[in-house]
Amino acid sequence: MNQSELPSAEVDRIVRLAIAEDMPWGDVTSDNLIPGDQLGVGRVEARERGILAGLPVARAVFAQVDPSLQFIAHAVEGARLERGQIVAEVRGSLRSLLRGERVALNFLQRLGGIATITNRYVEAIDGCHARIVDTRKTTPGLRLLERYAVRTGGGHNHRYCLSDAVLIKDNHLAALRLRGVKLADALRGLKNRLPHTVTIEVEAETLTDVQEALEGGADAILLDNMLPPLMREAVRLIANRAVTEASGGITLDTVRAVAETGVDLISVGALTHSVKALDLSLEIELNDRRE
């Protein structure tokens, strides 16, 4: 995984907020019990199998807590971890290690969990044409990192935010119908007003919806909550005139059948909104030596 995909300034900003949240006026335990010159080594260890994500974020945590700490990676981003594997180690002030421990682990566990579940979805559709993509159902303030974790796990990103692209969903469609505006007319109006670089996607629940989206020149059509037989028919109707996306309650048990309908994209909110953290720990080795 190319760590340059993470803007360092944004990572530093997010990390700074996390540290301020966890340690607004110091660590009253470590600051009063641990001498500032006592040394230690912290080793990040995997307690279960999974995909590693978040090393540059963990490195940034310890660098902000104490620039003198040495962060040494023993695995690369996107690596498949085995139980008991040492991921990284941090050397230096024991007090500083303890200050940064929880924040660094929180990032590694959250991002590792996202990368791991994403990779399972990607593997479940191996050999199919479709891509696994995320949604905007992310933790407020952490979208940049969570979407990076999706890519680390082998997935792809949907639009980043509401400003990126047009996505006309059920509530937008209901508002149009209430005003007596036909979808095709609304789409043509959008194309006249928006820059050519802005894509337009329309949510469809029926073949009639699909046909109307095509008539208006939609760039992509989101096939929402369709069963595979209907979705397959919709893909045939669209016939490569628009990008096709499947969405709505897709699980690891159902994603293969969805992919086999021929859709281009499969969006899965569960990649970020209900992910289980990857179990990692920071094991501390005490050192009698002083700086």
Which residues have C-beta within 8 Å of that of residue 234, sequence separation ≥ 6?
204, 207, 210, 221, 223, 226, 244
What is the distance between the alpha carbons of residues 277 and 68, in angstroms, rounded to a whole number?
Answer: 29
- Of 49, 80, 83, 169, which one is the catalytic site residue? 169
- Whether 169 is a known active-site residue: answer yes
- Whether 102 is a known active-site residue: answer yes
**240 dihedral zone (left: phi>0; alpha: psi -120 to 50; beta):** left
- Of 27, 146, 209, 224, which one is the catalytic site residue? 224
Span between the terminal Cα atoms of the chain, in Å: 36
HSE (CB half, 13 Å, CA atoms) of 8? Answer: 7
- Of 137, 143, 159, 256, which one is the catalytic site residue? 137
- Of 13, 43, 47, 102, which one is the catalytic site residue? 102
What is the distance between the alpha carbons of residues 184 and 218, in angstroms, rounded to a whole number?
Answer: 9
- Of 203, 212, 245, 264, which one is the catalytic site residue? 203
Residue carrying structure tokens 């047009």: 166
Token pair in block for residue 215: 């008539």
- Whether 276 is a known active-site residue: answer no
Q: Identity (one letter) of the amino acid at 118?
A: T
Q: If we measure between CA atoms, which residue out of 126, 100, 140 comes closest to residue 273?
A: 140
Residues tagged active-site: 102, 137, 169, 203, 224
